[in-house]
Amino acid sequence: MRRPIHRAALLSLTALLFIITPGKAHAVWSTNTAINNLVWYSGDAKAYPANVSDGTGGAIVMWYGPASSILVQHINAVGVTQGSVAIIPGLSQEIRPVIVSDDAGGVIIAWSKVNNYESYNNDIYAQRVDGSGAVLWTTSGTALCTAAGNQLHPTIAADHAGGAIITWQDYRNSPEPDIYAQRVDASGSILWAADGVAVCTATSYQTEPAIAADNAGGAIITWTDLRRENGYFDIYAQHVNGSGAGLWMANGIAICVADDEQSDPNIISDGFGGAIIAWQDFRNAAASYYDIYAQRVSAEGNTLWTNNGQAICATADYEYSPEIASDGSGGAIFTWWKSYVTPPYEIDICAQRINAAGSVQWGAAGVPICTLPGWQNQPVIIKDGAGGAIITWTDYRVQYPDIYAQRINAAGAVQWTGNGVAIATASPSQSAPTIAGDGTGGAIISWMEQRGIYASQIGGNGILGSRASASAVGPAGQSPKVPVLSQNCPNPFNPRTSLRFDLPQAGYVRLSVFDVAGRVVRTLVDEGMSQGSHEVAWDGLDSAGRAVGSGTYLARLSFGGRVETVRMGLVR
């Protein structure tokens, strides 16, 4: 039986974890699953945390707070909260806000806001917060869309130029929603048409948008679509470039139009300008259960796997809510929760890997992550940087829910304690975990409790509060464990500069130069290359051989599902 921990004692213990000797940063990540690290505590309820990496081993955590506010807190690589809590006050969000890294140690947040209480219409807003907790745009946020009708359910992707692309479900044209999108730059300026560009305005309903960056200033957007008006939703997608123009056929292409219903799409970049999309699928309706299917689509809009999607898991049970992480090689690792149709009707966590060619790697039904009695649900996943993934979930193996996690390698073998490592087990309960990589093969996990937001770090070795000793770059003379793009030299430059990058293994490389608006100026490398160090020069010319003007440019290296970016200054 779990021994209760009084909150007063818990807070006193937690406070001790945050004592720092002046001038030094001691490791203060808790190693106790009943204490963890406090991110925010007050007498008001907190809900739906989300976190992203800060790029230096820590994380920025966002949650939906009291009085309809959004709160943001930075916790660094050793578990110390940084700066003040950013508060975006009284915004009356009707749905959960969404968050993405700004690639500069801060975040961009988007939400749906009630602007007109008489008509109860929602609009879409965004805000940027830096790593110290400073709100960078106008106090109320940048209005992305204030068109007539409701705008709901925003999702967000970084444009990798300091800004973001946001897509949402839009009712401006009729009671049947469409899909719109908008891009905002690092300063909060709107880059596309006022109130957004139409992604899909086909007949009937388009809902549940999801988005992934294309790593060239644009994005691929997917959604559920009722245009066939057969009573069942299908999956469609569209590619928009950095200027907001649709690159595929008007209103998008069909990803899956199989029998019966497809819903709850999720999407990630495939690392090559395209995307991998997963959804829950009811095509086997005769057996009355949902399965998980997925499809890969190229930047040009060609579906690359089995027509209407490859089965990720199709068993005689229910599979729901797929989450995806890149495997770093053009494929993906998926997790979902499985509900059994026979007594005692347990719910478990499963996973599957599919390679770039569309072949499942871990058997037809995937592999179990946790199969203990009780319910395990709400799984989320990130890549581990070594071809595998880390998964965390809410776990009811005892009376009240706790947080557990597991790491799985590229071969489908679990790396930590069977059925997962305990992350948080304090009384009475914790739920809704979210996860970000810590840059060393481990993760920072945050979650909500009854009256607070907490976090913990787990190393790639499965030890709570233990940062892995391996760094991104190995010992001198060895190749890095992840691709590394070094700062160009000289910088600033005129008229020529050199870019050096190091590859952990042979693979396909794209190195491009972008302007600050996200437009491709020139692609310097677009080919397979060997493991090791490489150097490429840029002579300040665009793809047409014209000299570009003075200003800031971005060099972006894409390799194995990862993106590295450096800023370059050209002075004519």
The pLDDT tens digits for 118-147 are 556 899 999 999 999 999 999 889 999 999
| The predicted structure's pLDDT at residue 43 | 61
- What residues make up the domain containing 548? 484-570
Q: Which of 371, 404, 439 is the last residue of a domain?
A: 371
Fill in the amino acid letter for 417.
T
User: Strands 367-370 and 234-240, how do they pair?
Assistant: unpaired
Tens of pLDDT along 381-392?
999 999 999 999
Last residue of a domain, one of 371, 398, 416: 371
What's the confidence (pLDDT) of residue 539? 92
Residue 354 phi/psi, 5-degree rounding, is -130, 135
pLDDT at position 533, please? 84
Mean local confidence (pLDDT), 318-337: 95
Average pLDDT of the residues in 549-556: 88
Q: Looking at the structure, tell me whether residues 10 and 85 fall in a common domain.
A: yes
**Are 445 and 508 contained in the same domain?**
no
Higher pLDDT, 433 or 543: 433
Calculate mean pLDDT across residues 279-291.
82
Among 523, 448, 437, 521, smallest CA distance to 481 is for 437
Question: Angle CA(242)–CA(245)–CA(251) in degrees, nearest 5?
Answer: 130
66-80, 92-106, 258-272, 406-420: range with lowest mean pLDDT: 92-106
Closest Cα partner for 236 from 196, 207, 274? Answer: 207
Helix (H, G, I), strand (E, B) or coil at 362: coil
- The pLDDT of residue 552 is 84
When pLDDT is averaged across residues 294-306 and rounded to a whole number, the result is 97
**Whether 442 and 525 share a structural domain:** no
Asked whether residue 174 is domain-assigned, the answer is no
Q: Is the pLDDT of residue 230 over 70?
A: yes
pLDDT attached to residue 492: 81
The pLDDT of 106-113, averaged and rounded, is 94
Query: Do residues 326 and 390 share a domain?
Result: no
Q: Do 560 and 530 belong together in one domain? A: yes
Please report whether residue 437 resides in a domain: yes
Highest mean pLDDT among 9-18, 246-255, 442-451: 246-255
pLDDT of residue 67: 75
Which residues, 6 or more positions from 322, have their beta carbon under 8 angstroms from its beta carbon?
A: 264, 266, 278, 279, 280, 292, 294, 312, 334, 335, 336
| Number of folded domains that form the chain | 3
What's the confidence (pLDDT) of residue 3?
A: 34
pLDDT band (50, 70, 90) for residue 289: confident
Q: How far is CA 420 from CA 391, 394, 433, 444, in A?
A: 9, 11, 14, 15
Same domain, 269 and 359: yes
* pLDDT above 90: percentage of residues in the chain: 62
> Does any domain span residue 514?
yes
Query: 56-60, 79-83, 176-180 — which one is most confidently predicted on average?
Result: 176-180
Question: What average pLDDT does this structure show over 165-169?
Answer: 98
pLDDT at 92: 59
What percent of the chain is predicted at pLDDT more than 70? 88
Give a yes or no: residue 333 inside a domain. yes
Residue 5, pLDDT > 70, answer: no
Q: Which of 18-27, 300-309, 454-463 has the lowest mean pLDDT?
A: 18-27
450 and 409 within one domain: yes
DSSP letter at 505?
S
Q: What is the pTM of this model?
A: 0.78
Amino acid 393: pLDDT: 97
The answer on 400 and 366 residing in a single domain is: no
| pLDDT of 357 strictly over 80 | yes
Per mean pLDDT, which range of 247-251, 347-351, 470-474, 555-559 is the poorest?
470-474
Region 31-52 average pLDDT: 83
Q: In the predicted model, is pLDDT for residue 503 greater than 50? A: yes
Please indicate whether residue 23 or residue 127 has the higher confidence score (pLDDT): 127
Whether the pLDDT of residue 450 is over 70: the answer is yes
No. of helices (H) and no. of strands (E), the chain: 1, 39
Cα–Cα dist 34/49, whole Å: 19
What pLDDT does 452 receive? 85
Structure confidence by residue, pLDDT tens digits, 463-479: 999 763 333 334 434 44
Lowest mean pLDDT, pick from 249-263, 287-301, 401-415, 461-475: 461-475
Task: Provide mean pLDDT across the span 73-102.
Answer: 83
335 and 425 within one domain: no
Q: Is the pLDDT of residue 284 over 70?
A: yes
**Mean pLDDT score across all residues of the chain:** 87
What is the model's pLDDT at position 46?
Answer: 67
For the cut 70, the answer to whether the pLDDT of residue 19 exceeds it is no
Task: With a cut of 90, say whether residue 409 has pLDDT above it.
Answer: yes
Q: At 114, is the pLDDT very low, low, confident or very high (cuts 50, 70, 90)?
A: confident
Pick from 349, 371, 393: which residue ends a domain? 371
Cα 478 → chain centroid = 30
Question: What angle (nearest 5°) sits at the alpha carbon of residue 299, between those of residues 298 and 305?
Answer: 10
Residues 501 and 564 in one domain: yes
Check residue 151 and give its pLDDT.
94
Which range among 83-87, 236-240, 348-352 shows the weakest confidence by mean pLDDT? Answer: 83-87
**Do 327 and 392 share a structural domain?**
no
Q: Is the pLDDT of residue 1 over 70?
A: no
